[in-house]
Amino acid sequence: MKNLTFYHAGCPVCVSAEQEVLSFVDQSRFNLSIIHLGEKRDFMDKAKEFGVSSVPALVTEEGQVLHINFGASIDDL
């Protein structure tokens, strides 16, 4: 199983993107973690290290960042 992390902040754009990501990710092969950065502030530094600059964003195990649409800048969380 490979890890995928979906970072969000509970915003409408985030919730909508989360529903899509949950629907199409192959969860038999990927372990998908959902992290609400507004609630889990401890993960903020890690997200920034990966290069997450806005939410929602999907980060692969290899550190590839896919910023999906634009909900909020990470600096505004």
The residues that touch a copy of itself, with contacts defined as CB under 8 A, are: 4, 16-17, 20, 23-30, 58, 60, 64-70
| Shortest distance (Å) from residue 3 CB to a copy of itself | 11
| Shortest distance (Å) from residue 40 CB to a copy of itself | 22
Residue 10 carries which DSSP code? S
Nearest Cα to Cα of residue 41 among 14, 77, 70, 15: 77
Distance in angstroms (rounded) separating the CA atoms of residues 37 and 4 = 15
Q: Which lies closer to a copy of itself via its Cβ, residue 70 or residue 73?
A: 70
Q: Which lies closer to a copy of itself via its Cβ, residue 33 or residue 69?
A: 69
Tokens 């195990």, located at residue: 61
